[in-house]
Amino acid sequence: MIEHRFVSKRNEMVYSSIVPARAGISEQEKFVRRVFVVAALVAAAVGLTACDSAVDQRGAPVTTSAPSLHVITSDQQTAGPASAPAAGAPVSGSAPAPVTASENASETSAPANGGFTDVDASKYQIDGSYFFQSPSGNIKCGILASAPYGVGCQLAKATIVTPKLPNCTDAPDRKVAAHLYEGKSEFLCTSQGIFVGISPDGSPAGGAVLNYGESLTANGYTCSSSSQGVRCVAGGHGFAIAAENQHIF
């Protein structure tokens, strides 16, 4: 007997073909045997293929799609799946609340006197009066303790002289000035340093500098310094003075 054995190492399948061995086999019998062997080989191959397919189906990794993007907003607990936004595209949802200044820094009180900061009047006091000058030194002012001038300022140089002082030419002895006393404001054309004062530290006369954005209050008068000039008021009356502009009210 001749035994033909086909073995698959992967699934241990065995096929045996037992054919009687005898002499004098005719051509027809040989042909039948070959057909039988070929059929057995085909059957074995089909079985192996089926087993391989089963293994692939059991062992192949499961492919899943990428997880959907979920946007959580303050208006809802969960949101349905959404496609990923394109690069640079805004993501829908509630906009963050604006941050107020008080959340980032402690609040500070606004400067007094309409944006001006009060200074210590004692730093400008000389013998009961108060003297100061603008940062440029062109405006010199005094809050006087004695009558009849009250508070006033005069210009070292005037580029424009008010029409109310037709005889004031800005000559060395004809200086443009304005003052307020007992509720009345008026212009002066002076040849003396009425409102200049004497510097306490030996520097040029005119008192300490009242910086832009600062105000000085003394004897019921308040004077404020800005880049536009000096303004002094009391009881709703006063004056404003600068090299190119002077007016009273």
Q: What percent of the chain has pLDDT over 90?
A: 43
What is the four-CA torsion angle of 228, 229, 230, 235, rounded to 10 degrees? -50
The model's pTM = 0.54
Higher pLDDT, 10 or 121: 121
pLDDT for the residue 89: 46
Give me the pLDDT at residue 114, please: 72
Could you tell me the pLDDT band of residue 119, with boundaries at 50, 70 and 90? very high
pLDDT in tens, 194-205: 999 876 666 667
* Beta strands 214-218; 221-226: pairing state: antiparallel
The span from the CA of 213 to the CA of 209, in Å, is 12
Q: How far apart are the first and last CA of the chain?
A: 140
Give the domain ranges of the chain: 2-57, 113-248
pLDDT band per the 50, 70, 90 thresholds, residue 109: very low
Percent of the chain exceeding pLDDT 70 equals 52
- Res. 146: pLDDT tops 50: yes
